[in-house]
Amino acid sequence: MLFNYTCLFMVLLALFCGGSWASASSCPTGFNAENSRCVKERPVHGTCPPGSNYQLNINKCVHA
C-alpha cells in the first residue's frame, strides 16, 4: 500500500517540476520567468530590449 502512494507522489512531483521547468525555459535569453510572464530589469538610463514593453506597476520590462 505504501508503495502505491509513493509512486503516485513521485508522478505528481515529476509533473509539477517538469511544468515549472518548461515555463521557465520558454523565456528568451536575458528574461526570467516571474508570475507566468517573462521579465527583465529595466536599465536605469535606457529602454527595454526589442520585443518587450515597460510595465510601470512592476517596474520591469515584460516580453510580449
**pLDDT value, residue 44:** 85
Predicted pLDDT at 25:
59
- The pLDDT, as a whole number, for residue 43 is 86
- CB-CB contact of 64 with 52 (8 Å): yes
From residue 4, alpha-carbon distances to 1, 10, 15, 17, 51 in Å are 5, 10, 17, 20, 47
What distances in angstroms separate CA 21 from CA 11, 17, 41, 42, one per listed residue? 15, 6, 21, 24
Domain ranges of the chain: 37-63
Per-residue pLDDT of the chain (64 residues; tens, 9 = 90+): 666 666 555 655 454 555 444 444 589 999 999 999 999 999 888 899 999 999 999 999 999 8
Confirm whether pTM is higher than 0.75.
no
The confidence score (pLDDT) of residue 21 equals 47
